[in-house]
Amino acid sequence: MSLFELKIYPNPQALFGAAARVVTLALQAGLGKSPNATFVLAGGATPRGMYELLAASREFRDWNRVTFFWGDERCVPPDSDESNFRMAQESLLFSLSVPDANIHRIHAELEDGEKAALLYEDEVRSHFQGSGLPRFDLVLLGMGEDGHTASLFPGTHWDEERLVIVNHAPRPPIRRISMTPRLLNLSRQVVFLVVGRAKASALKRVLEDPSCDYPAKRIQPTAGDLIWMVDSAAAAQLR
């Protein structure tokens, strides 16, 4: 595995506070290089606590200059309890003065999943038009107990040339739309948030086993920083 930074915290709340600070610094750095910064949000349960801290913080005020994308989405309506968009909207975006034009959700509710994936790939490319391949300032990811990240699951296959794909999960909602390693690895900074003893075995394999083939292991930025932020329970099996 390429070089990465590992940060271990005593509990989830300490991790969320530190992660909020890392996000703030990454967005400030992005705004130092460009009029707008790009932030790819993660879904699932883990990032909610960090989103809520960001929403309540006064440390970063330039949210109207941040453009939001999603690393993956379940193929459900945007108002569904299963929607990654809805979770981020409720815990973060509702509290910020972000123009609607800066929020690029995945239209995963479309009946044709392949069409939804292609539309989102086009939307991502369009935002970075004229600057080559898309390069996000910050990508936030989680990892499942099976080593999946975004909606890239062990045993599934995808076109490595694509930036966004339709994929299938081992549990409902089965159909998902996800960014691919090719796109995620172009980012300036990728931050994993991992919480809980149930993920300790997968984390050990991803960080310490060279033969590991979990999708989370595939996320290794080609010209950016990779930070793993984990709680002590998730780190329990690490050397």
Residue 214 lies in a domain: yes
Residue 239 lies in a domain: no
Residue 143 lies in a domain: yes
Residue 97: per-residue pLDDT: 83
Q: What mean pLDDT comes out for the span 133-147?
A: 97
Residue 68 lies in a domain: yes
**Is residue 2 very low, low, confident or very high in pLDDT (cuts 50, 70, 90)?**
low
For residue 189, the domain's CATH number is: 3.40.50.1360
CA–CA separation, 163 and 170 (whole Å)? 22
Residue 236 lies in a domain: no
Residue 80 lies in a domain: yes
Q: How many domains does the chain contain in total?
A: 1
Quick: pLDDT tens for 100-134.
Answer: 999 999 999 999 999 999 999 999 999 998 778 89
Residue 238 lies in a domain: no
Residue 237 lies in a domain: no
Domain assignment of residue 77, given as a range: 5-231
